[in-house]
């Protein structure tokens, strides 16, 4: 029941975020403030607190690294094959990237932190860091190549390497590996700030969700939802089981890859010639459907 109540509260926050945006309370300026608070303050604090007391060897096991990249690139390959039949490049490119591009930062790590212990959260933070290094460059490459858009991967890589999330992860692992003491007051303050990561992120996601129903391509939408919400976490389950991952690694891997399509894919689609309405609808539906699928995975994982 606790899992059901937790997910119901997550859905409620998404609805509140959407309602505040529709009612004009969260206009563009306020939504940006909320997004900055989550992205630059709460989420980095959560990641640092979950990793600063642990060394790299405790978190980054060979099983984790191999499992993460097998699941990520395996899903990406399946997405290329499944969506190659679409004639419209703008839709094909979006369908492909939204089938593997997960909302690991705004939903994944905060959800794991709210549900499991610090060790699982630390592993989830490492997954976020590893996948971020390949997820965004691959998405930019796919969209720009298929749509003939003009962009540079160098700028995207520079932006990734300077993100607060990755900096917080490196700082936390560095402090933990070197055994640098963190004052209790500092750790407690960061822990308190980090607890706001999930509600802030959900309000941000909710305020950004949009639906455009007039021209729905049901087959393409079903393909994206099926790959992202069912195939990717199922593949994660199979891969980490085959690799005999420990319980914490298995749990973090499955839950992180069970998250919906990232809202940022809509932004990338808008900038790089993708189908914006199609991208927006997929973000909304994968987020909505993931509430049910995450309930199943969290219940089974305990």
Identify whether the C-beta of residue 206 lies closer than 8 Å to the C-beta of residue 17: yes
- What pLDDT band is residue 154 in, cutting at 50, 70 and 90? low
Establish how many alpha carbons lie within 13 A of residue 49's alpha carbon, considering only the half-sphere containing its beta carbon. 24
Tens digit of pLDDT for each residue in 248-277? 999 999 999 999 998 888 888 888 888 888
Distance CA(96)–CA(170), nearest Å, equals: 30
Give me the residue label for tokens 């703008």: 90
pLDDT at 93 > cutoff 80: yes
pLDDT at 143 > cutoff 90: no
- What pLDDT band is residue 43 in, cutting at 50, 70 and 90? confident
- What pLDDT band is residue 233 in, cutting at 50, 70 and 90? very high
Give me the residue label for tokens 């993100």: 163
pLDDT at 242 > cutoff 60: yes
Q: What is the pLDDT of residue 2?
A: 66
Burial class (CB in 10 A: 0-12, 13-18, 19+), 84: exposed
Out of 1.20.120, 1.10.8, 1.10.405, 1.20.1530, which CATH number does the structure's domain 30-203+217-301 have?
Answer: 1.20.1530
Tens digit of pLDDT for each residue in 156-197? 667 777 788 888 888 988 888 888 888 888 889 988 888 888
Indicate the average pLDDT of the chain: 86
Under DSSP, is residue 102 helix (H, G, I), strand (E, B) or coil? strand
Q: What is the pLDDT of residue 1?
A: 47
């Amino acid at each position: 029941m606790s899992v059901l109540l937790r997910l119901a509260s997550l859905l409620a926050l998404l609805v509140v975020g959407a309602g505040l945006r529709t009612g004009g309370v969260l206009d563009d300026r306020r939504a940006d403030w909320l997004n900055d608070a989550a992205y630059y303050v709460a989420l980095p604090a959560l990641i640092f607190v979950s990793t600063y007391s642990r060394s790299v060897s405790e978190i980054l096991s060979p099983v984790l690294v191999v499992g993460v990249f097998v699941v990520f690139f395996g899903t990406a390959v399946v997405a290329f094959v499944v969506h190659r039949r679409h004639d419209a490049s703008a839709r094909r490119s979006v369908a492909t990237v939204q089938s593997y591009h997960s909302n690991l930062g705004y939903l994944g790590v905060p959800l794991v932190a709210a549900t499991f212990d610090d060790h699982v959260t630390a592993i989830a933070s490492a997954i976020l860091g590893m996948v971020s290094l390949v997820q965004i460059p691959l998405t930019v490459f796919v969209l720009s190549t298929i749509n003939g858009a003009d962009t540079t991967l160098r700028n995207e890589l520079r932006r990734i390497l300077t993100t607060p999330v990755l900096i917080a992860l490196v700082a936390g692992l560095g402090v933990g590996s070197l055994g640098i003491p963190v004052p209790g007051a500092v750790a407690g303050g960061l822990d308190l700030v980090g607890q706001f990561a999930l509600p802030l992120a959900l309000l941000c996601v909710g305020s950004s969700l949009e639906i455009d129903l007039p021209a729905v391509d049901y087959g393409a939408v079903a393909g994206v939802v099926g790959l992202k919400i069912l195939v990717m976490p199922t593949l994660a389950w199979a891969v980490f089981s085959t690799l005999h991952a420990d319980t914490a690694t298995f749990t973090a891997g499955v839950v992180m890859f069970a998250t919906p399509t990232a809202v940022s894919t809509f932004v990338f689609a808008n900038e790089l010639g993708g189908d914006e309405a199609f991208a927006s609808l997929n973000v909304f539906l994968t987020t909505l459907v993931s509430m049910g699928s995450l309930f199943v995975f969290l219940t089974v994982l305990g």
